[in-house]
Amino acid sequence: MAVERTLVIVKPDAVKKNAIGDIVRILQENDLKLLAIKMVHLSKEQAKKFYIVHKDRPFYDELTDFMSSGPCVPMVFEGEDAIARVREIIGATDPAKAAEGTIRKKYGTDVGRNAVHASDSHESAAYEIPFFFNALEIHE
């Protein structure tokens, strides 16, 4: 196991549900250290750039409409095996399939409005962290 950094986003649906604090608390209580956090309202173009890996998927337009529909809260967390562990803590992409006790089970509505995003690999973390944060905004 190695210490890793991962990008987590509290999506617009969970911001509207006042779930930011609870989501940060759950991650911190799992030995994940919060290194960076901000609130941003993405434009449609910015959302398309962030999710460029999904550009050929049928849900790309719906996903980027939703992600630009209101403010979201990107964050960087660090910890042992953080990428895989955070994905376990947030649960399956579809909240209906997410395990009991996961963030998506608690706050997700459907596969589109699923409360949180988290990097799924080292490669995506390496793209997603600098998408939102420069070096001065990440606190060791």
Among 112, 124, 127, 138, binds ligand CMP (CB under 6 A): 112
Task: Confirm whether 54 is a catalytic residue.
Answer: no
Instruction: List the catalytic residue out of 54, 117, 122, 139.
Output: 117
Among 8, 15, 36, 63, binds ligand CMP (CB under 6 A): 63
CA distance 32 to 4: 10
C-beta of 67: minimal distance to ligand CMP in Å?
8
111 binds ligand CMP (CB under 6 A): yes
What separation, in Å, do the N-terminal and C-terminal C-alpha atoms of the chain show? Answer: 19
Closer of 59 and 131 to ligand CMP (Cβ): 59
Q: Which residue has the tokens 């799924």?
A: 120
Compute φ and ψ for 116, nearest 5 degrees: -145, 155
Q: Which residue has the tokens 């999710």?
A: 51
CA-CA-CA-CA dihedral for 92, 54, 81, 1, to nearest 10: 120
Active site residues: 117
Q: Applying CB under 6 A, which residues contact ligand CMP?
A: 54, 59, 62-63, 93, 111-112, 114, 117
